[in-house]
Structure 1
C-alpha cells in the first residue's frame, strides 16, 4: 500500500521546515503569503492531508468547519461548491448541517453545534439568532470579523447577509446596478420606451430592481409604460406582453428574471413582434437555457460559487486571527446577447 505523505514530505518539497508546514495548517500568524503558498502547493501536489485528530490534541483545533443551511431549501447549494473548495484548499474538513426553519428551534440547534467542540467555525448564508454574540463559546462576526485577543478557542460564527429568513437574496446578489447598465446601453442605442416586468414585492431583490428601473427612467428622461407586478414565472411575462396595446412599438422590456423574459419572448413571437427589432428584452439569473433561446437572451450572471468561496475565506481568516479578505466587486455581470441587438464591445 502506498505510504501516506507526511508533513516532513511537504516540508522537503516546499523547501521549508516541518514546523513551518505545521504553522501553515494550524493557521498561525507570521507566515508570509509566498511561503504559505509554497507549502499549500507542495501539499496539493503530494495529496497531503493533515492529521486532524493529532492536530486537535496538540492545538485544541479540530480542523473542522460547518456550513449551516435551512431545511428543505436548495438556494444555498449554489454557494456550497465554492465554500467547500475554499475550505479544503486551506486544509479544513467541511460538514453541511441542516437547521430547522423555526427561529427558536434553529437557536437550539446552533447552540448544540457550538457546544459540541467539533467545529472551529460555523458559516451561515442566512440570518442566525443574535443571542450567541459575545457570549458562551461562540463569537458572532460583523463586517470585519477578527477574534478578540486571548480568545483563540472560541467557535467563530459568521452569518453573511446574502439571504433573508425566507432565502430571498438580500446581500450582494440583490444589487440592482446591472439594471441601470442595461437601460443605459439601450437608451444610448436610441431606445426611449421601457416596461419593467417585476417580481413579487416581498423579495428585496425585486424591490431593488424596481427602484433602479424607476430612478433610471427619471434620470435619463425616458418614457415608461409602467411596472407590472407578477411572480417569477414565464406565465407572468407572457400575460404581461399579451396585455400590451397595439401601436406601442418599439419598446424595451426589462424582466426581473429569465423565466419572466422567456414568457415575454413567447408572447411577442406569437403577436408577430420581432426581437430585438420591435421589442428588446433582458432577463436576470442567466439560466443555462437562456443562451439557446431564439434570439438568445441578454441576462445577468451571478457568480454564487465565488461568493461562497469568499464567505468561507472570511470565516477562515477570523478563525486564524487574520484580517478579512477584500470583498469581490464583480459578482454580477451583464451577459449581452441577441435579444438586445448588437453585442457591445467588452
Structure 2
C-alpha cells in the first residue's frame, strides 16, 4: 500500500506577509521594491514576517507582469581560478534581498569588446543592470552613460587588483602593532611585483619602517605562494636579528611559519609572523595566524546598492568604496625576543 503523500506546504504570498506583519500588501510591495520612506518599526515588522514565513518573491511571475528579467549581472574580466568571492558574496546578498537573481560572467577581450558585450546584455533584456569590476571603456561613447551600469574597474585582465583592494596602508597598522611589542628589525616577504597590491604593500612597509626609525633587514620577492614563504624562511640567516616577518598574504605567512618550524625556530617566541586577508584557515593553523581583515563583502554590498538605485531610477547613493580593515591578533605574533642570534 502506498503511503499518502504529505500535503505540500503552501508557498507564502505577499498577502500572507502583510497579514503576519499587520500592514497592507501595498506596504510590503514597497518594502520588496526597496522604495524606502517607511518607518523603521514597519520595516522591522516586515523583515520579521519575511523571515518567519520564509517568504521568497516569485520572480517568474513578477517577470511576466513587468516584462523585466529581475536579473543583474556582475562582470569580471575572465573566469579564472581566482574570483573575488567576498566582494561577490556581498553583492549577491544585496541583490537577493532586493528580489534579484545574480549572474556572474567573465568577458574575454579588451575594454572595447567587453563594453560591447555589456551593451548587448542590457539591450537584450537578459539583465536589468550590470555591475562590472573591470574597465569597459568610456560609458558615454558606448551609449551606456544613462543605463543601469556601475563600473568599479577593480581588476585588470589577469584578475590583478589595482583599485581600492590594492591599498597597502594596513601594512602601517601591522608594523605599529609589532613595534608596540618591542620589534625593531623586520623582513617583508612580498607578493608578485606585477600586482599593484604587492607593490603597494611593499611601498607602505618600507615607508613605515623608515618613518619609525626601524630596520628593514630585507624585502624578499615572492609570488603569493606558500612555497615562496617557506623558501624565504629557510633562507633567512640565523644571525639576522630579525624578530618579525610581514607576509604578503596568508598563504605566504603559512609557508613562512612552516619554514621556521622545520628549522626548529618557534613562532612567535623566536620570530613573529603576520599574514594578510584573514582567510578561514588562519584561525585553525598551528599556531593560528595573526592577519589583517579587509571587509570586501561590505564593498560588494555598497556597489550593488548603487546599481539597484540606478535600476529603480532613484537618487544614487554616494559610492564610498573605502575598505574597513582591522587587525586580527592570534598566536603567530607576540613580544620580540631579546637575544640577537637564534
TM-score in terms of structure 1 length = 0.82
Alpha-carbon distance, 1:186 to partner:
1.4
Structure 1 residues 40, 119: closer, same or farther in 2, change over 3 A?
farther
Q: Distance in 1 between matches of 2:246 and 2:67?
A: 54
1:233 matched to which residue of 2? 225
CA distance 1:215–1:57, change in 2 (3 Å): same
Aligned to 2:334: 341
SS in 1 for 2:332: helix
> Which shifted more, 159-168 or 179-188?
159-168
For the pair 1:222 / 2:222, whether they are aligned, the reply is no
Residues 28-37 or 253-262, more deviating: 28-37
Counterparts of 1:243-322 in structure 2, within 5 Å, are 243-320=235-312, 321-322=314-315
For the Cα contact (< 8 Å) 1:261–1:282, is it kept in 2?
Answer: yes
> CA–CA distance in 1 between the matches of 2:316 and 2:38?
14
Q: Is the 8 A contact 1:66 1:94 kept in 2?
A: yes
Q: Do the aligned partners of 2:78 and 2:159 also contact (CA within 8 Å) in 1?
A: no
Q: 1:292 to 1:6 in 2, by over 3 A?
A: closer
How far residue 301 of structure 1 moved from its aligned partner, in angstroms, is 2.5
Structure 1 residue 223: Cα displacement = 1.1
Match of 2:28 among 13, 21, 24: 21
Gap regions ≥5 residues in structure 1: 140-153
Distance 1:179 1:37, change over 3 A: same
Mapped partners of 2:152, 2:321: distance in 1: 14
**Number of residue-to-residue matches in the alignment:** 326
Distance 2:260 2:61 in 1: 65
Partner deviation per Cα, 1:44-84 (whole Å, 9 max, x = no partner): 43333444455456656443222223333231344333322
Residues 42-191 of structure 1 mapped to structure 2, 5 A cutoff: 42-52=49-59, 55-56=62-63, 61-73=68-80, 74-130=82-138, 132-133=139-140, 136=143, 138-139=144-145, 155-191=147-183
Give RMSD over aligned pairs.
2.8
* Separation of aligned partners in 2, 1:51 and 1:27: 16
1:211–1:110: structure 2 CA closer, same or farther, 3 Å change rule? same
1:183-217, Cα deviation, whole Å (9 max, x unpaired) = 11111222111111111111111111111111111
TM-score by length of 2: 0.83
Q: Which moved more, 1:1-10 or 1:271-280?
A: 1-10
Q: Distance in 1 between matches of 2:117 and 2:200?
A: 33
* Alignment partners' CA distance in 2, 1:68 and 1:179: 30
User: Post-superposition shift, 1:40?
Assistant: 4.1
User: For residues 35 and 300 of structure 1, do their structure 2 counterparts lie closer, same or farther at Cα, with a shift above 3 Å needed?
Assistant: same
